[in-house]
Amino acid sequence: MWRWAIAALLVVSVLSVIVLLMRHRRHRRLTLSALATERSTKVAQFPVTISSVASRSEIATEFAREYIVRIDRFLSPECLRLLREEAESNVERMTPSFIPTHKKGRTLSYEMIHHYAPGCLSFYHSPQVQEWISQIVGLPVVPTPDGDQSSLSILCYREKGDHINWHYDHNFYRGRHFTVLLSLANETRAGGLSQSNLMRKRPSGEEEIFDTSANSLVVFEGARVLHRASPTAEGDLRIMLSMTYCADPRTNWLKEFARRIKDTAFYGIRALWD
């Protein structure tokens, strides 16, 4: 008799968990839908001013060869200042993360940016910015889905040893997937650049440093470019607006689950069900 009681209890427990997860997923869909509905109004309030005069055709040629390019002085000083102020005002809201030998730092998620950093949100969804990225990579791209908390995030390296080790940005979508980094701050207390560098490792093993001075934009295909952010030193501050775009944002349940596992490194275990 007790075996039947235990079996019944297990069945009830499993069914209860399934019901709770279904309710939670429904709540998450409604939350994300509401954010998407409000987004166009917020984006319209913060127009982006691109000041770069770089030749997009030349940059596109370089990208086709190297899968990574850098653009200097991308935004107007006023636009950059707004984005930096937003990022700095949100440092305490960021999620700290530490995975030994792999990464250490703080991250503000896409959802939190909707609430607290409308200027950064506007930059990511700016038609001008998307046109730039599309021309650089050679095909039309769009933002990745709202449920992907890494679609748009703010990365902060401000404590000694903050870093992310060598890795690829795996593609969880049907179309090609691109990472875009806008440097909002990169400095030491005494002046000059921080010790943290964006580095790329070529198949030959040669390591290359990409200058991420404030207001530089780096575009790369993360699935093809092995890269890292080297550790910060005491007194360093490095803040990056990290964005992902793709040519086709469709996915499947297996890739979606793999993406959620990846996101636990930035946002904790809740990334599995949020």
**249 near 145, Cβ under 8 Å?**
yes
Q: State yes or no: pLDDT of 24 exceeds 60.
A: no
Q: State yes or no: pLDDT of 106 exceeds 90.
A: yes
| Least trusted range by pLDDT, from 35-49, 99-113, 236-250 | 35-49
For residue 82, the domain's CATH number is 2.60.120.620
Range(s) of the domain holding residue 27: 1-42
Q: Same domain for 20 and 89? A: no
**Listed residue (206, 200, 230) closest to 69, CA to CA:** 200
CA gap 163, 159 in Å, rounded: 9
Q: Same domain for 140 and 189? A: yes
Q: Same domain for 136 and 18? A: no
pLDDT per residue as tens digits for the range 165-207: 999 999 999 999 999 999 999 999 888 899 999 999 999 999 9
**Greater confidence, 193 or 265?**
193
pLDDT band at 271 (very low <50, low <70, confident <90, very high): low
